């Protein structure tokens, strides 16, 4: 079980790196848009389109890693008053529910991307981006979130705590 969790940790860290790269690309793209619009009155219509695509990747690709780090917002007003065994049971139920929702979203977005690929759908913007590409990244991001929930569930079943806050899993740090 430990080796599976370790593999999932590395995959989730890769998702966090993807989210970081998307955030950096979004920042550069928006700075470019502000500069060209402000100083040259030359707007980049693709910036609006691609910022939406990148935002979706940023929001979900790193969420599985954040879940493993317990970096998501946790409302402990109720759970802090429960006995420890009930806290663990409640967390298990909520993680299982989150996994189901994220898995459903991953499958639905993957099916949507495949449908767009099959029909050749493109965006309504001037770039005519094939929609299967951003939809595929969204499906991947949702799958990473589902994997994060699954990894958290495995940790709960094995009695392991969440990862301590650090920059990378041990196997990634040694590379």
Residue 38 in domain:
yes
Residue 169 in domain:
no
Domain count within the chain: 1
Q: Per residue in 76-133, pLDDT tens?
A: 777 778 888 888 888 889 999 999 999 999 999 999 999 999 999 999 888 899 999 9
Stated pTM of the model: 0.84
Question: According to the model, what pLDDT value does residue 175 have?
Answer: 45
Question: According to the model, what pLDDT value does residue 121 have?
Answer: 93
Q: Is 28 exposed, middle or buried (0-12, 13-18, 19+ CB in 10 A)?
A: exposed
Q: Is 128 exposed, middle or buried (0-12, 13-18, 19+ CB in 10 A)?
A: exposed
Q: Within 13 Å, how many C-alpha atoms sit on residue 3's CB side?
A: 0
Residue 28 in domain:
yes
What is the residue range of 47's domain?
Answer: 1-158
pLDDT greater at residue 151 or residue 88: 151
Residue 98 in domain:
yes
Residue 172 in domain:
no
Whether 62 contacts 16, CB under 8 Å: yes
């Amino acid at each position: 079980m430990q080796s599976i969790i370790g593999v999932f940790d590395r995959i989730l860290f890769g998702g966090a790196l993807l989210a970081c790269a998307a955030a950096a690309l979004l920042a550069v793209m928006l700075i470019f848009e502000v500069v060209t619009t402000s100083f040259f009155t030359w707007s980049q219509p693709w910036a609006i389109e691609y910022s939406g695509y990148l935002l979706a990747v940023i929001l979900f690709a790193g969420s599985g890693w954040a879940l493993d780090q317990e970096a998501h917002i946790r409302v402990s007003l109720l759970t802090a008053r429960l006995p420890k065994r009930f806290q663990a049971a409640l967390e298990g139920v909520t993680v299982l529910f989150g996994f189901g929702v994220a898995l459903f979203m991953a499958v639905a977005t993957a099916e949507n991307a495949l449908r767009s690929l099959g029909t050749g759908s493109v965006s309504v913007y001037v770039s005519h981006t094939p929609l299967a590409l951003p939809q595929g990244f969204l499906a991947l991001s949702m799958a990473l979130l589902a994997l994060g929930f699954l990894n958290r569930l495995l940790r709960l079943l094995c009695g392991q705590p969440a990862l301590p806050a650090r920059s990378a899993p041990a196997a990634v740090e040694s590379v």
